[in-house]
Homo-oligomer: A and B are copies of this chain.
Amino acid sequence: MAQSQIKFYYKNAAAETIGAEHGITQSRLEKLLSELKEGIRRLRSNSELKEKEDAYRRLPYESRTVEKVNDLVAEFSSDCDCLVILGIGGSALGNIALQTALNPYLYNLDGHQRKGPRLFVFDNVDPVQFGSFLDYISDKLDRTVFNVISKSGRTAETASQFLSIRKLLVDKLGEDALKKHIVATTDSKTGTLRKIADDSGLQGLDVPAALGGRFSVLSAVGLFSAAMCGIDIDSLLAGARDMDDRVSGEDFAKNPAAVNAAINYYFYKQGKRISVMMPYNSALYSLADWYRQIWAESLGKSKDLSKAEVHIGPTPVRALGATDQHSQVQLYREGPNDKLFTFLEVEDFGRCVETGPSPQNAKELDFLAGKDMGMLLNSEKKATEYALLSDNRPCLSVIFPQVNAYTVGQFIYMYEATTTFTGALFRINPFDQPAVELGKEAAFALMGKVGFCEYVGLSYADFAKEIKSKTNIDAAYLL
């Protein structure tokens, strides 16, 4: 172990701690771990799923991607004050999570705290939000780089942003400027964005064909913006490799992803269908958003691998300690015992902020005077955990010795593996997302796409009519 490792702690979900009605017994855990072994064997015997799993497990070892990313950073960074990501879902959440976790809170606002360009990530098509950005950026285009990320290039939201930015660049700086201002991260061979990039001679980075968007943060998708903004991507990938060793261990009782998956599966089956991830650390909050995608989209499935109807899927919820003690903990303690909590705890914040002295007339605050804020934050974590345990609510912890690229790389890889393993226990395909298709096609139809929609077996025009007839306002239900 070259550097410090994150740890996974599960005593506070054990029957020993919170009782057999709500906790998991050691023997049940052992039984699930052997089921899991079988489940993973089953999953990997399916060549399509094996290929999908390999696609993300290979990423921490792809030194050629790192070289290519570093080459592009060298080429673009000297002329870049603003880096703008155009992407959505897996093409945005990882970028946001790395930036939030590993760069200063006021990175964009304070030049003294910044080692790279300002970073903006646009993962919506909100005209007011995007308009505010256009107002800001229009006189700074000559020192702005846009990284458009889409495996296919047909994602409507990203395409819409990209076409508006492309027009802006051509209008203001001319067609030739596209090469200097756009990096296209997309499939290496096929797809709409690939074609556009090739035709305009854009610089590009590859998304491996078998790689799912929600498993892509350690590919060029996440690495380019991170490296541009001064994040140590070598360390990030080294952390992921470290965790790869740990989650590849055959002794599942010592494998954090295996134990985490078994526990999560158990509690879901026990009716605790809500998974709360609650970092006691503001920088890690966006990692909980990244988790929210990988968990929901991978495990929310209506069919098991034999095509039987199941409708399974825990609902991930992100919360923030200590903030949400004043918002959610009332529910978490007194509401239904239907949740599994996962805290993210940081041992060493790497920074002290000391509370000042208490005023003379406020002796009741003496106990805070001169104390470090980090001590308070970690005391709040322990206090909340204690309070939840007193109501027999199961709690897990992932403990970060420090927050740095190495530990964040471990965390990401651990949850990618945990997600896959949990999918194996549920006997579902953790790598597809078939239910997203209908809404995508419906949006195409409403935007006036022409032609025939194979997916629903109607022309887009007829499909649009059907959608409108189902969703148009009926005044009888309008208040």
- Which B residues touch A369, using CB under 8 A? 163
B362 pairs with A196, CB closer than 8 A: yes
Nearest chain B CB to A392 CB, angstrom units: 11
Nearest chain B CB to A399 CB, angstrom units: 8
- Segment from A39-47, A66-74, A129-137, A225-233 that makes contact with B: A129-137
- Which B residues touch A300, using CB under 8 A? 330-335
Question: How would residues 347 to 370 of chain A score, 1 for a CB under 8 Å from any chain B CB and 0 otherwise?
Answer: 001111111111111101101110
Provided the pairs A167-B357, A439-B383, A479-B7 are in contact, do residues A322 and B125 lie with their beta carbons within 8 angstroms? yes
A373 pairs with B160, CB closer than 8 A: yes
CA distance A134 to B353 in the complex (A): 9
B127 pairs with A374, CB closer than 8 A: yes
Question: How would residues 242 to 279 of chain A score, 1 for a CB under 8 Å from any chain B CB and 0 otherwise?
Answer: 00000000000011100100000000000001100000
**Residue among A328, A330, A362, A382 with the highest chain B CB neighbour number at 10 A:** A330
CA distance A128 to B330 in the complex (A): 27
A383 pairs with B442, CB closer than 8 A: yes
- Segment from A53-61, A181-189, A443-451 that makes contact with B: A443-451
- The verdict on A35 contacting chain B, using a C-beta distance below 8 Å, is no
- Which B residues touch A110, using CB under 8 A? 132, 135-136
- The verdict on A435 contacting chain B, using a C-beta distance below 8 Å, is yes
- The verdict on A11 contacting chain B, using a C-beta distance below 8 Å, is yes
- The verdict on A209 contacting chain B, using a C-beta distance below 8 Å, is no
CA distance A317 to B90 in the complex (A): 20
CA distance A93 to B326 in the complex (A): 10
Chain A contact residues, majority secondary structure: helix
Question: How would residues 413 to 456 of chain A score, 1 for a CB under 8 Å from any chain B CB and 0 otherwise?
Answer: 00000000000000000000111101111111111111000000
A281 pairs with B376, CB closer than 8 A: no
- Picked from B109, B438, B446, B450, the residue with its CB within 8 Å of the CB of A382 is B446
- The verdict on A293 contacting chain B, using a C-beta distance below 8 Å, is yes
- Which B residues touch A448, using CB under 8 A? 367, 371
**Residue among A300, A360, A369, A374 with the highest chain B CB neighbour number at 10 A:** A300
B443 pairs with A383, CB closer than 8 A: yes
From 117 to 174 in chain A, residues with beta carbon under 8 angstroms from any chain B beta carbon are: 123-136, 153-157, 159-160, 163-168, 170
CA distance A385 to B473 in the complex (A): 12
- The verdict on A327 contacting chain B, using a C-beta distance below 8 Å, is yes
- The verdict on A308 contacting chain B, using a C-beta distance below 8 Å, is no
CA distance A313 to B274 in the complex (A): 13
CA distance A192 to B374 in the complex (A): 23
CA distance A438 to B166 in the complex (A): 56
- Picked from B163, B361, B371, the residue with its CB within 8 Å of the CB of A357 is B163
Nearest chain B CB to A66 CB, angstrom units: 26
What are 17 inter-chain pairs, A to B, with CB distance below 8 A?
A11-B474, A127-B353, A131-B351, A163-B357, A163-B365, A164-B373, A195-B362, A199-B360, A256-B479, A292-B328, A300-B333, A311-B334, A334-B435, A380-B439, A382-B442, A384-B439, A389-B470
Please name the 8 residue pairs, one residue from A and one from B, whose CB atoms are nearest each other, closest first. Answer: A89-B326, A300-B331, A167-B356, A313-B335, A383-B442, A11-B477, A302-B334, A379-B446
